Amino acid sequence: MYHLQRVKKEKNFEKQSVLFFLFTDLDEGFLFLFKMNIIGRIRNRTQRKSQDPLKEPVRENKENKEVKEKEKAKGPPREEKDKTKSEKETQPQSSRPGPDDPTSKDRLIKRKQIVKFVKNTVEKGPAGIRNEFSTMKRFNDFEKMKAFKNAQDKNKNRYKDVGCLDNNRVKLGSPWPHDYIHGNFVATPSNPKRFICTQAPMEKTCADFWFMCLQEKVESIFMLCNLVEKGAKKCFEYYPSKEKTMEFEEKGLKITVKFESSAVLKWEKPSESKVMETVLNVEGPGGLTLRTTHYHWIDWPDRGVPVADLALCELLAKSRVSKNPIVVHCSAGIGRTGSVVMIEYMIDTLLIGGIIEDSDKILLRIREQRNNSIQTDLQYLFVHQVMMNFLLDKKLFDNDVKMAHLDFTTKYLKAVS
């Protein structure tokens, strides 16, 4: 972890203090000092002291000044240029600065972006993070959910106690016969409509769901639940998983969903998570068409957490290419769904150069868009563990933080086991 240390100049230097970051890699420390122009000042003083005091300095006249300006305009001699070029070409690839190099400017900037989040996460520990979640009570303000209340007797809501906020709900447009679906747009720092968080489709809402996807040009769908979990129906079968076609209808308007291909998703990093990737072609009223990819996360338990590896980060990276909304649903569309949204919110903050703020503030901001997002303390803890693993993988930790990360992970595994 970055430690701020005060170092006093001694002997021939003025008695003043200079602040600098003490990094585990000396190159990083020197890079920071160069930026503050400290090393430059030290070097200039050393050079002045090494000059021969008996040598008379050359006085600059008009003629000398003109000669110097001409030489400067010409640039360095050809031999010197060739030598510099040759040194660059022969420099080993591994020694050249890159995004993972300890002296990389990009890496130093990213460390500043994460220092607050990492410090808070490590200091709180799993127990503190779970306690923090318990202070953020969930509730429904039905005065802000009038469309949800009006849809109660139309069998359009899966759960009576999981509301849908009016202010940013997805509204179905023409030619659809009504505008209601239990779904909300949720923003990340770079995209005001990064996600559509919605409930799992019901028998009477499948057509609504697919029209929403057509309308919003959705290219990725995350399904985080199974059709049946612990003997209870959690989702209606709304897409073809084999070579067949499914048709849905709402008051005479038909939507066709055709199967194209399916395969188990292969991860770049080792992962135990199982996700089925299915490509679908959708056709709707008014000539609307869509080719979308459906990702079914098979082993994410209800109100629980999967293995906190980098699988979710990879899945988000695959879908981030499109700027259109990513549809995410579990059964209610708030627990597992909220976990995905919060992780992407933090990653997106890093990608645009922002500083990750306090976790509780991020969750409250998400809940203002999708009510009661993240249902359990373990889901909230899972978000922190995944982010810590993500930052470790990006080589943004020094040795002290790596040890703290290991301790945090050990406690996390005990908490979720």
Residues with catalytic annotation?
A: 330
Amino acid at 278: T
DSSP letter for 252, please.
Answer: T
- Whether residue 394 contacts residue 388, with contact meaning beta carbons closer than 8 Å, is answered with no
Q: Interior CA angle at 349 toward 36 and 406, to 5°? A: 80
Beta-carbon contacts of 11 under 8 Å, excluding residues fewer than 6 positions away, are none
| DSSP string over 324-385 | SPEEEE-SSSSHHHHHHHHHHHHHHHHHTTPPP--HHHHHHHHHTTSTT---SHHHHHHHHH
- Whether residue 132 contacts residue 359, with contact meaning beta carbons closer than 8 Å, is answered with yes
- Whether residue 205 contacts residue 156, with contact meaning beta carbons closer than 8 Å, is answered with yes
Reported as type and span, the H/E element at residue 277 is: strand 275-283
Evaluate the omega torsion of the peptide bond into residue 126 and state whether it is cis, within 30 degrees of 0. Answer: no
> What's the rounded Cα separation, in Å, for the pair 108 and 23?
10
Q: How far is CA 195 from CA 42, 198, 311, in A?
A: 53, 9, 19
User: Which residue is listed with tokens 């006085």?
Assistant: 59
Tally of residues, the chain:
417
> What's the rounded Cα separation, in Å, for the pair 416 and 285?
47
> What's the rounded Cα separation, in Å, for the pair 108 and 293?
36
> What's the rounded Cα separation, in Å, for the pair 356 and 159?
33
- Whether residue 385 contacts residue 308, with contact meaning beta carbons closer than 8 Å, is answered with yes
Task: Please name which of 186, 144, 187, 193 lies closest in space to residue 165, comparing C-alpha atoms.
Answer: 144
- Whether residue 9 contacts residue 20, with contact meaning beta carbons closer than 8 Å, is answered with no
> What's the rounded Cα separation, in Å, for the pair 396 and 133?
26
